[in-house]
Structure 1
Amino acid sequence: MTAAAFFELFHQYGLLLVCGVIFCEYMNLPGFPAGVIMPCIGVLIAQSSLSLPLTLVLSVASGLLGSLVIYGLCYWGGEPIMEKLFGKSRKFRSFVQKCHEFIDAQHGRGLALCRIIPMLRTIVSIPAGLIRMPVKWFVGWSAIGIAAWNTALISAGYLFSDRILTLVM
């Protein structure tokens, strides 16, 4: 897909497209790196008549929904799903154990902290589901971390949109 085609889609679907992209990013689908996507969303919003505050609120809601899908799969599917996806990988099991310990030690705050650490931020839904973290904790702490991450990156793209566009155009 060319940049022109993407801009045309954005102008046609606006915030619906933004929500879809963020939802996919939080489901950890390949090809959706937040470090690129979120600032680009900010640039697109700055170049349109769409609202930055509304975009930020919708980005958090979309991020939460994507995270809840992964959390729910792990919460209700647990180990059998993880076995299918990751096999008996010691590295993955070690990661899940470390996340579990960190989340437990921080009494849930660890989940919010994990949400602002690149690479860990989208994967942390897996151990949260596997350890059956209460949904209200998961949603509350995730919302805080997702809001911090999305606001920082989308706002950066929005505030520096003119500079970014002069670099890429």
Structure 2
Amino acid sequence: MPVTLLTALVTEASSVPDSGLAGLVADIMGSIGLVGVGLVLAIETILPFLPSEVALPLAGFSAKRGDFGLVAVIIAATIGSVGGAMILYWISRVFGLERTRHVLAKIPLVTAKDIDKGVAWFARNDAAAVFFGRMVPAIRSLVSIPAGVEKMSVSRFLIYTTAGSLIWNTIWISAGYQLGNNWESVEKYGNYLKYALVVAVAVALAWFVIYKVRARRTPA
């Protein structure tokens, strides 16, 4: 069996993990290239046990080492994210909220409370919820559920999901790219970055809601 490129890099510089969750991600990406990047992000979007805060910086490190181009990695990751979100969207659209909650709540680390958070986000404003929700941990995947249940336009869902995913993926992949061999430092300080992103998203969402409310009150 041929040794994958990322596995070879482990031998050369012990910055790429060869075990555990990060090791699994590295192996998938190294074995099937950019398709692996998209696959990992699709899985991460559906199943929370594979955090993007691990997968994306590692993908950025791969680009830094020359395995893939930086732009190509970002595009592949975004396609995977959108693909995973579309799967949840269509499941929810076909099954409805209660049946979807019942099925997804059986997945490890997914709770009915988490699903309800996604529903609450969507209730504020569908477009803003999908766009900003893609940049909020624990909401990122689950906001697809109410979008499907409420039969949000597929084209609108794709536009806002792609835009939000592109921003999120670019931030984390670029961080891994800039840190190079120290890509794992992104995970170490990831919570601070996540908190900063959540605050920024909350402020942006608040401004969006206020803007919408004022626009409705202003006479034409």
The question of a shared fold, defined as TM-score above 0.5 by the shorter chain, is answered with yes
List aligned pairs for 1:1-169, cutoff 5 A: 3-4=17-18, 6=23, 7=26, 9-27=28-46, 29-78=47-96, 79-86=98-105, 91=113, 94-104=116-126, 108-164=127-183
Give the unaligned 5+ runs of structure 2: 1-15, 187-220
Inter-partner Cα distance in structure 1 for 2:184 and 2:104: 39
Contact 1:100 1:131 survives alignment (8 Å): no
The separation in 2 between residues aligned to 1:18 and 1:102, in whole angstroms, is: 32
Q: Give distance in 2, aligned partners of 1:51 and 1:120.
A: 29
Q: TM-score, structure 2 length as denominator?
A: 0.64
Decide whether the 8 Å contact of 1:73 with 1:129 is kept in 2: yes
Aligned residues: 162
Contact 2:177 2:183 in 1 (8 A): no
Please give the root-mean-square deviation of Cα atoms over the aligned residues, in Å. 2.8
**Aligned-partner Cα distance in 2 for 1:102–1:14:** 39
Deviation at 1:9, TM superposition (A): 4.9
- Using the TM superposition, name which of 141-150 and 38-47 deviates more: 38-47
Contact 2:38/2:77 (<8 A) preserved: yes
1:165 Cα shift?
A: 6.5
What is the deviation of 1:159?
1.1
Using the TM superposition, give the Cα deviation of residue 93 of structure 1 relative to its aligned residue in structure 2, in angstroms. 6.8
Q: What amino acid sits opposite 1:164 in the alignment?
A: W
- CA gap of 1:97–1:49, structure 2 versus 1, over 3 A, is closer
Partners in 2 of 1:147 and 1:57 — Cα distance? 8
Q: Over residues 40-87 of structure 1, what are the superposed CA-to-partner deviations in whole Å (9 max), with x where a residue is unaligned?
A: 111122123311111111111111111000000001111323234449
CA 1:136–1:42 in 2, change beyond 3 Å: closer, same or farther? Answer: same
CA distance in 2, matches of 1:153, 1:23: 16
After superposition, the Cα gap between the structure-2 partners of 1:134 and 1:10, relative to the gap in structure 1 and judged at 3 Å, is closer
Following the alignment from structure 2 to structure 1, what is the Cα–Cα distance between the partners of residues 105 and 18? 37
- Output the TM-score relative to the length of structure 1: 0.82
Structure 1 gaps of 5+ residues are none
Amino acid in the other structure paired with 1:101: A
Q: Which structure has more RCO (C-alpha within 8 Å, separation ≥ 6)?
A: 1
Between the two proteins, what is the percent identity of the paired residues? 25
